[in-house]
Amino acid sequence: MTKSLEESGEKVAQLSNSVAYFKSIIPDTKKTLASAEKSIDLLENKCWYLEDVISAKNRKIIALIDQILSYTKYSDVTTEPETYSMAGGSEQTSSNIVSLLLLTLNFFGSGILLGVSVENVISS
């Protein structure tokens, strides 16, 4: 019986030590959680900001595409297209400008014009 009491006393001591240890790490754990929550909030704010930036850039790209489409809509592409004088004196046709815009959009991975070709844009 005394042996069983001694074993029980040892188990109680082990449990008491475990409880004391876990109580001692609670403040550090709370600090760590608070820091993690603050980091998460900062990252969420940055994510929202970047989503707003991407959305604004997408709207600008769409507006540019609309301008190009409105121009090509009224031009007769069966005749020789009008040319634009670019900086440096070289000339580009409207289809070359559309091609350049589409290549640029694909390069930056906007995903807005997936499946759009120059022929589709000019013929619309």
Note the pLDDT tens digit of each residue in 57-105: 988 888 888 887 777 655 555 544 454 444 444 444 556 666 766 666 6
* Summary mean pLDDT of the chain: 74
Domains held by the chain: number: 1
Report, as an integer, the average pLDDT of 12-21.
92
Grouping H, G, I as helix, E, B as strand and the rest as coil, residue 84 is: strand
Nearest to 105 by CA among 49, 58, 56, 52: 58
H/E stretch holding 75 reads: none
Contact (Cβ atoms closer than 8 angstroms) between residue 121 and residue 68 = yes
Element of type H or E holding 25: helix 2-74
What pLDDT band is residue 22 in, cutting at 50, 70 and 90? very high
The span from the CA of 66 to the CA of 71, in Å, is: 9
pLDDT of 48 above 50: yes
Name the pTM for this structure. 0.44
Q: What is the pLDDT, as a whole number, of residue 8?
A: 84
Supply the pLDDT for residue 103: 67
Range of the domain at 29: 2-123
Residues 79-96: b if buried by 16+ CB within 10 A, e if exposed: eebeeeeeeeeeeeebee
Query: pLDDT higher for 29 or 69?
Result: 29
Longest alpha-carbon distance in the chain: 109
